[in-house]
Structure formats: C-alpha cells, structure tokens
Amino acid sequence: PMGAVPKPLEPSEMRPTSDHSRTRFNSFTSMALFRHALTAYKDVAYLLRKGFVMYVTDVEAAFPMLPLAPCIWMFFMFKFFADDDTATESLFMHIFGDFGAAGLPGTFKMFFVDCVIPMARYALRLVLPIVVYVDDVAMIGRTESETDGEMARFQEWCERVTGTVFKVLKDKVSSALQLYVGLWWDSATLTRTLDENKLVSYLDLLDEYAHARSLTLRERRSVGGKMVR
C-alpha cells in the first residue's frame, strides 16, 4: 500500500511512503544489522564551539538512490493507475529503496556514514567535522569561508565519485545561528532553542492529549519524545 506523509522539517512537502507493516515485510526483516544510534544532538553540542559556524545540507532522495537486491524485488511490487485516464490498475515494482522499509535508514547509514564520508576524508575532500542525522548533514568550522568552501568541494566530490546528490538550492550556508534537526543552534551564546512553530504545535498536542480518554502506545511514545525536546 502506498501513501504520503508531510516531511518533518518541511511540512508543506509530502514524502511518498510504502506501508511495509501491512505487507509484513518489516516484521520479517532482521534489524540486528541495521540498528544504530542517532547522536546528532550530542555531536553538534560537542563540536559547535563558541564562535564557530555550521553549514546544513541534506541528501537528495537518500533512500531511492540505493538499489535493492533482486532477491527482495518481489516485496516491492504494488498496484496503481498508470495515468489519470486509465481505469485499470497496473503492476509496478520498486527496484530502488523506498520510505517505509524498516532496514533502509540503517542501509543508508552504512552507505553514507560508514563508506562515503571515510572515502571523502581519505581523498582529502573532507577535513572539517561533519554530523549526520539520517540524510540531514551539518558541517562545522571556524569561519564561514572555510566551511562554505569545504562543503562545496565535498558535495562536488560526492556527486562525481559516488553519485550522491545534495539539495544544494535548499542549503543553509554557514552561520553562527543555524537551524538543524528542528533546533536553533547559537554558537555565540552556546544555546539551542526549539523552533517556535514546533513549540506551538507541541503545546497544542500536549493540551489535546491531556484531555484524551486514552492514548495508543505509538501516541504515548511520540508525545514522550516531544516532551523531552
């Protein structure tokens, strides 16, 4: 089954998703190889020293750029209409990764964090510290010119050598006050602040849940994470 959800950091844009819970593909996926810790908050807090700057970019179509092994193609078949004028559904099949498969975040981490970034460092196309949260990338440096220049070289090398493309038009160039993973990071005051729009939405949700007669386990986990933030 196909669907779409708003992107967490871009609510006006929709991300197509595949419901692999309903197909039971996720329940038959062994996650032992793919589990990993997301340490971006701690990493930025450690690396963004007083007066430093941060450049933010993200990988274009991170999961769909990864080819699927032919032995699992059968699990990525779906029915849909070929065009608006067709009344009969056709059979389609993803041969590249999609959003919804449980193992894709871990697979992308292996590709980008464990392979591409070390290759770039070996080729001396990446020297400055870099932080990755799924497909959101932050580079931290002492000056704007140094950091902007290194990010440009890193992006060019990634596309030319590994086929990894970035959303350059949406890049946030180096700044001492930068929005990354939903928080405003200020290296002048060494503080981080929740984005105001998110704060308002979180408070509205907390008020709604405070008056609810019951909550699902998923809702309790979600609101617990928002309260921590």
Strands 172-175 and 53-58: antiparallel
Count of CB atoms situated within 10 Å of the CB of 104: 22
Question: Mean pLDDT in the chain?
Answer: 92
The number of residues in the chain equals 229
Mean pLDDT of 193-221: 90
Instruction: Identify the residue whose tokens are 């197509």.
Output: 16
Mean pLDDT of 104-129: 96
What is residue 8's predicted lDDT score, i.e. its pLDDT?
A: 66
Band (pLDDT 50/70/90 cuts) for residue 105 is very high
Residues 6+ apart with CB under 8 A from 220: none
pLDDT at 4 over 90: no
Q: How far apart are CA 84 and CA 78, in angstroms?
A: 17
